[in-house]
Structure 1
Amino acid sequence: MTRRRLLILLVVIFVFLQFRLWTGSGSWEQIASLKRDIKSQRQVNAELQRRNERLYSEVDSLKNNLDSIEERARNDMGMIKKGEDFYLIIEGQ
């Protein structure tokens, strides 16, 4: 009789643990989902890191290279040097 109760208790515990293993907190599915999220976040981080490196390079170039400043002024602000002629060509459609 006591062996039967012990066996039933062990089966109930086993079923409960199996249920938690497959569906509960820390389950296999949750772990797989977290691994996918980590992989995705690492890709985003790598992309942002490359962007940051380009920006740092651009800032360094602007700090140390007058040609970069001149190019930026010409492209972004439409500035021209003294004595230069500016021609704006508008293409017709």
Structure 2
Amino acid sequence: MLRWIALLLLLLLVGLQLKLWFGSGSMQEVDSLRVAVNKQTGDNARLQKRNQALAADVHDLKHGDQAVEARARTELGLIKPGEVFYQVVEPARTGSAPAPTATVAPGSP
């Protein structure tokens, strides 16, 4: 009788170990979920930094004239009256298009 109980307990132990290692909620599944959570945490941190930078940019654009002026100069080519525009074109390199650079200097028109 004791052998049957020991055999039954051994089979129960083996069954539980199989479920632990290969069944639903197994160690392998837990490890893969842990990796996914770590990846998502990194993505969330990166996106949160980006959102903070965008929020700061929006705040600057709403409350500061300098940010609007800087954006207009770089994106729209704003030149104030009395400033002289200089454009420097570098010689073309083989295999790539020229990269023009522009500067605005205060001066007479």
- TM-score range with shorter-chain normalisation? 0.7 to 0.9
Identity over the aligned pairs, expressed in percent? 41
**Larger RCO: Structure 1 or Structure 2 (Cα < 8 Å, ≥ 6 residues apart)?**
2
TM-score with structure 2 setting the length: 0.74
Q: Could you say what the CA RMSD is over the residues aligned between the two structures, in angstroms?
A: 1.6
Q: Secondary structure at the match of 1:87?
A: strand
Q: Partner residue of 2:29? A: 30
Q: Partner residue of 2:63? A: 64
Q: Distance in 1 between matches of 2:9 and 2:72?
A: 78
Q: Determine which structure has the larger helix proportion and give its number.
A: 1
How far the C-alpha of 1:4 sits from its partner, in A, is 4.6
Q: Partner residue of 1:80? A: 79
How far the C-alpha of 1:72 sits from its partner, in A, is 0.2
Q: Secondary structure at the match of 1:30?
A: helix
Q: Determine which structure has the larger strand proportion and give its number.
A: 2
- Counting matched residue pairs gives 92
TM-score with structure 1 setting the length: 0.85
Q: Partner residue of 1:92? A: 91
Q: Distance in 2 between matches of 1:56 and 1:75?
A: 20
Unaligned runs of 5+ in 2: 93-109
